[in-house]
Chain A
């Protein structure tokens, strides 16, 4: 009940932020010097064509009306149609979001596990060899361009060692399975096709590894820092001085207290992951949201850009909320 009330309160506080986000997404397109309608009509269009397009897109309405109908549409899941493909944007989103989510979720999971194990180990061996090795690894992960790392992994594991599949598609060509959820690992399980499941894992390997490596770096550093703080805290030192068994100290004190700080860190890193997924989808020809948005950006398909920016920001904001709720549930000191 307490958690429910807290979530409700936070959701209400979200409303002004989302209004702001929608305003920015809406006016971003109007940053463009000149008339958006000129982007849409072909270069050979006559004055009459331009006027007709303006009316069709509602661009002849006052700006406030335009904004309200845009927000009204977005709230009911109607983002309009792409001006270059004429496809419904909502349908495109529904088809592509699962592909991207799949990449994001697995990468985040791998990164979290690596960062927690590595960060706590580094803190326990502070300034000794494991700590130094991990700091070096974090420096590498923070400095390496993720899209280049992806290409290098393709070069090494596909081109060189032939252990990875070619960088396109989600399963081997001959193993296509019917789509139920859009999540390939779940769809292959539903189809009961073990071979396709393994093939999907195989195809996920490199893109997930690339994304995970680049987000593990910042997480690792934060976990290490918060584990060091716990180790130096009065309550941990008191517990240690009382001679608790090392295993109890490690699991009940060090791990648990370090983990309560993790949700907030993960939410911040999730933003990097969202941006990075655009690049990684491009490298691996992964037909998710990023590839779709990128194509829209390259041809200045402005309803597509708008929808993508809005969806990305809303997701990011909701992830922050989720992180806060998890944190509040984990940590009794947080006031709800």
Chain B
């Protein structure tokens, strides 16, 4: 547990990158939670007076081709994008960690065969695998979360396995083994807590990728279906307006997407640098 308990002490001297990132993410989370109360419009509510109108009082970021309020949709989009990304990364971390623990601890042929299978999955460019799986499974929210979760799991399995392999020869692990701990206790009380630290660094970066993956899938019509308020889907719908000079429908959701991913990247990279310095 020492790795986790030591964390609060380290937070006190977090680098400014992490603080900026956390501030951004707090604001996005705030938008997600309070979305219904921040504008007068629902995310799929149409204003029959204004179709595809630029920013103006009442519709601060304009309306889209259906007369829906862009600001309201962006704020509600934070719920979907943040929610799907965090759920998917949670699945990826859990699945990857379990698999990595088992491979590293079991060793032998389990490890050997398992790693070859992971190699094969990693022979596919990530986004292309995501496209194919999303296309085949169909785009319900659950399927999207599962797809993004599964696809992001292999790196965690690798990471945890490598940690477990290096921990196996440490004295305290040998002592715990000699003291007659069961396999379950070895895995979850002695190895897992000590192998978790690198995951804390990768997970925020991964949340950023997961959001980009979801938005990209929606952008090409394989993610959240219209008229769902998801940033990538909004950009996709707005792309058609650009050539007519109506820039706001694609631009604003993209800024929201960019800033959120930036927030995760700032946190992840800041933590990474902290790790290097230690």
Contacts and interface: CB of A to CB of B under 8 A. Distances in A.
Interface in A233-248: none
In this complex, the member of A24, A147, A167, A272 whose beta carbon has the largest number of chain B beta carbons within 10 angstroms is: A147
Contacts of B221: 298
A300 B242 contact: no
Interface in B251-276: 251, 254, 257-258, 261-262, 265-266, 269
A159 B243 contact: yes
Interface size class of A (residues with CB under 8 A): 35 or more
Given A166-B243, A298-B135, A305-B136, A145 B128 contact: no
Nearest to B250: A151
Given A145-B232, A151-B239, A32 B222 contact: no
Contacts of A294: 131, 220
B117 A145 contact: no
Interface in B114-157: 116-117, 119-121, 123-137
Nearest to B259: A143
Interface in B219-262: 219-222, 232, 235, 238-239, 242-243, 245, 247, 250-251, 254, 257-258, 261-262
Interface centre among B121, B242, B245, B266 (most CB of A within 10 A): B242
Nearest to B211: A145
Contacts of B254: 145, 148, 151-152
Contacts of B251: 152, 155
A148 B265 contact: no
A310 to B, nearest CB: 10
Given A145-B212, A145-B257, A279-B219, A305 B116 contact: no
B258 A145 contact: yes
B120 A20 contact: yes
B200 to A, nearest CB: 19
Contact of B119 (A20, A276, A278): A20
A155 B247 contact: yes
B124 A279 contact: no
Contact of B135 (A143, A154, A297): A297
B224 to A, nearest CB: 15
A139 B220 contact: no
Main secondary structure of the interface of A (DSSP, over half): helix
B18 interface: no
A29 B137 CA distance: 9
A11 interface: no
B220 A282 contact: yes
A272 B137 contact: no
Contact of A139 (B215, B250, B269): B269
Contacts of B136: 28-29, 31-32, 300, 302, 305
B116 A16 contact: yes
A275 B208 contact: no
A309 B132 contact: yes
A309 B254 CA distance: 28
B216 interface: yes
23 contacts: A20-B116, A28-B136, A139-B262, A140-B262, A143-B208, A144-B258, A145-B216, A145-B235, A145-B257, A145-B258, A147-B219, A148-B257, A154-B242, A155-B251, A159-B242, A159-B243, A271-B126, A272-B125, A274-B128, A283-B239, A298-B221, A298-B222, A305-B132
Interface in A200-234: none
B116 to A, nearest CB: 7
Interface in A295-336: 297-298, 300, 302, 305, 308-309, 312-313, 316-317
A283 B251 CA distance: 14
Contact of B120 (A21, A151, A312): A21
A93 to B, nearest CB: 15
A309 B269 contact: no
Interface string B161-193: 000000000000000000000000000000000
A151 B235 contact: yes
Contacts of B219: 145, 147, 279, 282
Interface in A158-188: 158-159, 166-167
A308 to B, nearest CB: 7
Contacts of A317: 123
Interface string A8-28: 000000001100110110001
A271 B261 CA distance: 20
A157 to B, nearest CB: 12
The 3 A-B pairs with the shortest beta carbon distances in the complex, nearest first, are A275-B127, A20-B120, A297-B135
A151 B132 contact: no
Given A20-B120, A143-B261, A294-B131, 4 more contacts: A140-B262, A159-B247, A283-B239, A309-B132
Given A144-B258, A159-B245, A275 B125 contact: yes
Query: Which of B130, B238, B239, B250 counts the most A-chain CB atoms under 10 A from its CB?
Result: B239
A312 B242 contact: no
Contacts of B247: 155, 159
A83 B221 CA distance: 20
A287 interface: no
Interface in A71-114: none
